[in-house]
């Protein structure tokens, strides 16, 4: 079998790159072994403001300008909704936080997103003595449905193999990459935290940031907006809510833990006062990098081998931008922005 590209891994990074190839009518084959699940468990939120410090997310507006049409095209392709715009309410803990919010509203990079009005409404089940700040132009991508549909679509076309990519079986020639019965012009690795096991790129400084989430049913809580406090509360409909997420920099497993659950429920109960039941508990590893920038670019020795990784905590917003940049680099020789290029570590 002969293709333009082999893609290893189909989370948000692999999907964005596969879509970019489809847009340019390039052929490809994906290998996916379900060893990582960050993209499947993600909250899926896109939000251009850092809610701890009220600062702009790096390149957020540029990323959203590419990401929103990207997800909209997928909605058209599969005739299904994946993008659910949702207002974010930042719950204030003090007058000082209110003041910080209103100062940040003056920042021109944020004024498109941050509302200058203090929200004082009371909502049953939520304790918010200092009110909320409201964000606009934010939303959630249903990453699980999107990935499921895209993987099915590839399956029907025999463009995905559900097996582990074995690095030792790859043969790199000057102009081609051979892997078992497949000959490709190039190979792009999109394994998320699985990059740790990739001998070609495992020296890149990937850090594990495990995250756990629970889904609860709270019959007395009736909100249709996202709350960010000690944890987030993301409404899913019918009184179900996703609560997240933890950050653990040591645990490399993807298993949900008692410790993670206790952390989430303790933090939730610090501001939510109605009864609830936990119906699901999941975990995944965010592929983060020590300088909080992505890992994109060609292998220093093998020009037909590249990596698309390091999406960190904001894969939804950043993946489509990175996929475009990598495609343009590989196909058109357009240099990568220094901040995203792996050259900064090599
Ligand atoms: C709890 C949690 C909450 C999050 N919430 C959000 C959020 O609200 N908004 C947001 O933007 N981001 C969020 N993220 C971050 C987001 O999930 C990541 O940035 C993104 O999913 C990373 O995508 P990826 O494709 O690089 O990696 P992954 O999703 O890990 O995908 C890598 C894929 O490669 C496959 N793979 C790996 N090795 C091999 C191999 N050898 N052979 C074959 N296949 C292989 C894996 O099975 C996997 O499917 C969250 C993450 C977590 C864990």
CATH code of the domain containing 328: 3.50.50.60
H/E stretch holding 17 reads: helix 12-23
Structural domains counted in the chain: 2
Confidence of residue 252 (pLDDT cuts 50, 70, 90): confident
- 216 occurs within a structural domain: yes
Please say whether the beta carbons of 48 and 207 come within 8 A. Answer: no
For residue 88, give the nearest of 54, 41, 133 by alpha carbon: 133
Check residue 183 and give its pLDDT: 98
CA–CA separation, 51 vs 238, rounded Å?
A: 27
- 223 occurs within a structural domain: yes
Lowest mean pLDDT, pick from 12-26, 174-188, 243-257? 243-257
Cα-to-centroid distance, 190 and ligand 1 (Å): 9
154 and 184 share a domain? yes
Please say whether the beta carbons of 211 and 244 come within 8 A. Answer: yes
- 301 occurs within a structural domain: yes
- 82 occurs within a structural domain: no
Q: What is the pTM of this model?
A: 0.97
Q: Is the pLDDT of residue 97 over 90?
A: yes
Decide: 64 in ligand 1 pocket, CB within 6 A: no
Ligand 1, atom nearest to 245 Cα = 1
H/E stretch holding 216 reads: strand 206-217
Kindly report, residue by residue over 292-334, the tens digit of the pLDDT.
999 999 999 999 999 999 999 999 999 999 999 999 999 999 9
276 and 171 share a domain? no
212 and 341 share a domain? no
For residue 108, give the nearest of 67, 48, 65, 64 by alpha carbon: 48
117 and 243 share a domain? yes
Q: What is the mean pLDDT of the chain?
A: 96
**Residue where one domain finishes, among candidates 263, 288, 313:** 288
- Percent over 70 (pLDDT), the chain: 100
Decide: 245 in ligand 1 pocket, CB within 6 A: yes
For ligand 1, atom 53, the nearest C-alpha belongs to 284
Cα-to-centroid distance, 325 and ligand 1 (Å): 19
How confident is the model over 112-123, as a mean pLDDT? 93
Please say whether the beta carbons of 179 and 2 come within 8 A. Answer: no
Kindly report, residue by residue over 130-153, the tens digit of the pLDDT.
999 999 999 999 999 999 999 999
148 and 284 share a domain? no
Residue 214 sits in which domain range? Answer: 87-137+207-288
Check residue 208 and give its pLDDT: 85
218 and 166 share a domain? no
Strands 139-141 and 83-85: antiparallel
**Residue where one domain finishes, among candidates 246, 261, 288:** 288
């Amino acid at each position: 079998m002969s293709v333009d590209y082999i893609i290893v891994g189909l989370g948000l990074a692999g999907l964005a790159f596969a879509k970019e190839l489809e847009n340019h009518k390039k052929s490809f084959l994906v290998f996916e072994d379900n060893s990582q699940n960050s993209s499947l468990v993600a909250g899926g939120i896109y939000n251009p403001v850092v809610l701890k410090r009220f600062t702009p997310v790096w390149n957020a507006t540029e990323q959203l300008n590419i990401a929103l049409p990207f997800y909209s095209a997928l909605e058209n392709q599969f005739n299904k909704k994946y993008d659910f715009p949702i207002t974010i309410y930042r719950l204030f803990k003090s007058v000082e936080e209110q003041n910080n919010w209103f100062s940040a509203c003056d920042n021109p990079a944020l004024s498109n997103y941050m509302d200058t009005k203090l929200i004082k409404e009371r909502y049953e089940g939520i304790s918010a003595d200092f009110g909320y700040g409201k964000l606009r132009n934010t939303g959630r991508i249903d990453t699980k449905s999107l990935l499921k549909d895209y993987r099915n679509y590839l399956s029907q076309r025999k463009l995905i193999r559900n097996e582990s990519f074995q690095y030792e079986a790859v043969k790199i020639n000057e102009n081609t990459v051979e892997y078992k019965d497949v000959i490709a012009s190039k190979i792009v690795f999109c394994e998320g935290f699985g990059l740790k096991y990739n001998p070609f790129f495992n020296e890149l400084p990937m850090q594990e940031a495990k995250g756990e989430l629970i889904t609860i049913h709270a019959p007395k809580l009736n909100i249709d907006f996202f709350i960010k406090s000690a944890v987030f509360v993301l409404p899913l409909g019918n009184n179900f809510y996703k609560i997240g997420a933890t950050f653990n920099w040591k645990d490399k497993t993807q298993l949900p833990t008692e410790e993670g659950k206790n952390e989430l429920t303790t933090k939730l109960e610090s501001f939510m006062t109605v009864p609830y039941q936990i119906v699901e508990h999941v975990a995944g590893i965010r592929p983060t990098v020590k300088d909080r920038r992505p890992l994109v670019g060609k292998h220093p020795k093998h020009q037909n081998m590249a990596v698309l990784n390091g999406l960190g905590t904001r894969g939804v917003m950043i993946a489509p931008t990175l996929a475009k940049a990598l495609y343009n680099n590989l196909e058109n020789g357009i240099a990568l922005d220094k901040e995203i290029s792996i050259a900064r570590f090599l």
